[in-house]
Structure 1
Amino acid sequence: MVHTHSYKFKSLVAVLGLVQLALAGPTLSVRNTDSSATITVCADVGANCVGLPVVSDSCLDFTGGLTFLNKAVSSAVIPGGFVCTFFSQFECTSQGGDDEVVLLSGTWNFFDVPGPSSPDENFNDLASSVSCSPI
């Protein structure tokens, strides 16, 4: 015999947990991070920022709690010893050309980043995903 009250209570607790997670904003909890390294990505230069854990060679789409970053990234801070590639497409895919930028450690203003065809590329408000790894 199944106790429907117990089942309903467990379902309610699960739903409340999801609501709490959704209301918490874009804080992420990811396993297998690289030494607790994080990159900081900002929707405006130096403002509206969020710290994202570095997970080697994993793609992070700017969806869900990170939707505010989709096509809105203007700056990033990448810790020493890491390289990050920002893509204009989801799933860290590239059509080739100017739809991605590769950035080494440092503080970057996306109005002026090194691109594949120009040393001074404007990649502001173009990123939809990112992938990072240690150098």
Structure 2
Amino acid sequence: MTIHLIKLAVGVDDAAHLRALQLNRLQSFGEIFHRTRMRPKRQDALLDGGSIYWVIHGSIAARQKLLAIREDEDEDGRACCRLVLDRQLVETCRQPRRAFQGWRYLETADAPADLSETAGTGDPLPPEMIEELKRLGLW
């Protein structure tokens, strides 16, 4: 049964900024990854189609498929975990989230839909407007 992770993208302005940061990492290291101190215990479920959902400025805004989870070391030589991510960053419908430390598991039923899945025939509303409408209880 697939499960996902949710993580704050600290210091990131929007999905385009996250994409640019990750492109730099890809060029420097040959893969896109995120290091975390704690290794997920539900690794099999995460690697069975799971994604990492990025919280940007208080809302889930994008996701990336998890490709691998490996042992790693940080810049100071301390053991950590490397979450290897797909190159494709998929923007999602915005879903408000409070700040938290580290990462959390996210059940598939609680994950927001991809923006591409909700696109209609007309121009889609900007994600910020959808978020504001939801906050006001009008969406």
Taking structure 2 as the reference length, the TM-score comes to 0.29
Taking structure 1 as the reference length, the TM-score comes to 0.30
Looking at CA atoms only, which structure, 1 or 2, has the larger radius of gyration?
Answer: 1
Which has the higher relative contact order, 1 or 2, with Cα contacts under 8 A spaced 6 or more apart?
2
